Structure 1
């Protein structure tokens, strides 16, 4: 505080506080930069108001914040759960098992065995042995499914299909297992297909088309 104000407060200067001169001196003193810098800003005022409002929320009728705090926490948790459902959807049952399965046909592949064979033949004609191997293996599986010999679903793996087919066609067990390995090699392991693998699948497909299953319990074939 400046010396003039101190003198005024100390009574060194006989000035009547109600006089216009005293009022002007005081207003001039308060207008100085050091006093203006000490004044609270609009942000300080707004922050204080928000702090007071939040403090009032956490104070119950008797000054106890416990019940109000618990209610706020429960509301926040409920809001987070609802947001998670809206963003990610309902959790899948047995999610780990579903992620570990590999599709033989693909979820949206509705082609018949004949269409898959034609696709495989076209790929083989162009020298694309990877696609030819994939498509012909699918054709073999789809053919047995169409004939209701082996049940195949989009979640069935190549190895599972080969094991099921071997139950009803035990004589083809080794060739079915080899076909499943060839499919997995080109589909999932990134290995190059070969004409030899494709021709082995052609021979297996022709043999299975002529195959007539013996009576096998349906539950055993499904396994």
Structure 2
């Protein structure tokens, strides 16, 4: 048996000694750092999966296979966003703002039906009030105005004049009608209700001058 340069260490060790030498060598830092980590293994698994998709395709160069793999990943990401991202964004939409300090969060169509029902019953004060609420809610739902605690009918009319300047006079008259039946106990009339209904419908169909909320 030959001797090594360091203290007569044998150069032709038996099997157990050789195994120990190999274990000691592999335990060195440079070998440990070269081992693939979890990310490397995951990327290798994904690469192998993509390659397996095209195993039957002959004549396709490597770069084309890579490009096809990237396209597949992009499609998966887009589909995931459409399926899972959009519902989350919808759920995050803020709750409807209450109108005129009485926690009224009804939507536009509900308010329109309430106004029409009150008008059919000849209850003009309630019909006018509900129709003006529908006008305000329609503006809010279109992000044309914002309402806050304390916003009055006059405040709604002032804010709505910015996107609809041609309707300034009618908006102020509608706000006055709302205040008259809600706070002053006025009876209202079918003519004033009809005028307010026409205004609400015209604004709903009209294109605003500006999309910036007041």
Normalising by structure 2, report the TM-score. Answer: 0.52
Corresponding residue for residue 179 of structure 1:
174
Corresponding residue for residue 201 of structure 1:
196
Whether 2:141 is the aligned partner of 1:146: answer yes
Corresponding residue for residue 82 of structure 2:
none
Quick check: 1:133–1:193 contact (8 Å CA) kept in 2? Answer: yes
Q: Which has the larger radius of gyration?
A: 1
The match for 2:113 among 101, 104, 118 is: 118
Tell me how far 1:214 sits from its aligned partner.
2.5
The match for 1:134 among 119, 124, 129 is: 129
User: What does 1:90-129 correspond to in 2, within 5 Å?
Assistant: 104-129=99-124
Structure 2 residues not aligned, in runs of 5+ = 1-97
**1:105 to 1:114, Cα distance in 2 relative to 1, 3 A:** farther
Quick check: 2:124–2:188 contact (8 Å CA) kept in 1? Answer: yes
Q: CA RMSD in A?
A: 1.5
| Equivalent-residue separation in structure 2 for 1:136 and 1:149 (angstroms) | 18
Normalising by structure 1, report the TM-score. Answer: 0.50
Structure 1 residues not aligned, in runs of 5+ = 1-102
- How many residues are treated as equivalent by the alignment? 117
Tell me how far 1:154 sits from its aligned partner.
4.1
